[in-house]
């Protein structure tokens, strides 16, 4: 499930739908579609890696069908994860977590918050976790 509560099922491409305009996604001038950013650095700068998801998964996605590039990054009609990493404080996942991720792309990796988010974002995330 993504931070927007969208469930991605193994072996099934995600098909974007516009919930606002009811048109085929992605549409110019709208924000619908499967969003992706080619640069991890841009994601870090925008704070998108800091969504308070538990667990946090960082991944690459294959996009196809109609694909639009605009101020929102890339937005696509269809997508499927091509690589996934589970972000854990010590890069030691709980048993079964990597198996669950591997159902999507064959093999899943691990990353520390600093590796995935950058040092500053990882520090902020750690502070937020301590504040809960
Ligand atoms: Zn739309």
Question: Cα-flanking dihedrals φ and ψ of residue 54, to 5°?
Answer: -130, 115
Q: Which residue has the higher pLDDT, 5 or 76?
A: 76
> How far apart are the CA of 4 and the centre of ligand 1, in A?
16
Q: What confidence tens digit (pLDDT) does each residue in 99-127 have? A: 988 999 888 888 887 787 777 666 666 67
Listed by start position, the domains of the chain span 14-131
> Could you give the angle at the alpha carbon of 39 between the alpha carbons of 37 and 42, nearest 5°?
85
Which residues have beta carbons under 5 A from ligand 1 (an ion)? Answer: 18, 21, 27, 30, 32
Centroid of ligand 1 to alpha carbon of 88 (angstroms): 34
The 10 Å Cβ neighbour count of residue 124 is 15
Q: Is the per-residue pLDDT at 51 higher than 60? A: no
**Is the CA virtual torsion 10, 80, 32, 21 positive or negative?**
negative
Residue 56 has a CB neighbour count (10 Å cut-off) of: 19
Name, in order, each residue with C-beta under 8 angstroms of 111's C-beta and a sequence gap of 6 or more.
58, 85, 86, 87, 88, 91
**How far is the C-alpha of 17 from the C-alpha of 102, rounded, in Å?**
26
How would residue 131 be classed by pLDDT, with cut points 50, 70 and 90? Answer: confident
Q: What is the pLDDT of residues 71-100, one digit of tens each?
A: 868 999 999 999 998 888 777 788 788 898
Whole-angstrom Cα distance, residue 130 to residue 3?
21
Distance from residue 78's CA to the centre of ligand 1 (Å): 14
């Amino acid at each position: 499930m993504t931070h927007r509560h969208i469930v991605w099922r193994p072996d099934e491409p995600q098909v974007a739908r516009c919930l606002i305009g009811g048109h085929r996604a992605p549409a110019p001038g709208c924000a619908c579609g499967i969003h992706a950013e080619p640069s991890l650095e841009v994601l870090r700068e925008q704070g998108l890696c800091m969504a308070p998801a538990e667990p946090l998964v960082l991944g690459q996605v294959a996009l196809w069908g109609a694909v639009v590039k605009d101020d929102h990054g890339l937005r696509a009609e269809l997508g499927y994860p091509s690589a996934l990493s589970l972000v854990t404080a010590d890069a030691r996942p709980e048993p079964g977590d990597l198996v669950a991720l591997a159902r999507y792309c064959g093999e899943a990796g691990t990353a520390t918050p600093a590796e995935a988010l950058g040092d500053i974002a990882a520090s902020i995330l750690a502070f937020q976790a301590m504040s809960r």
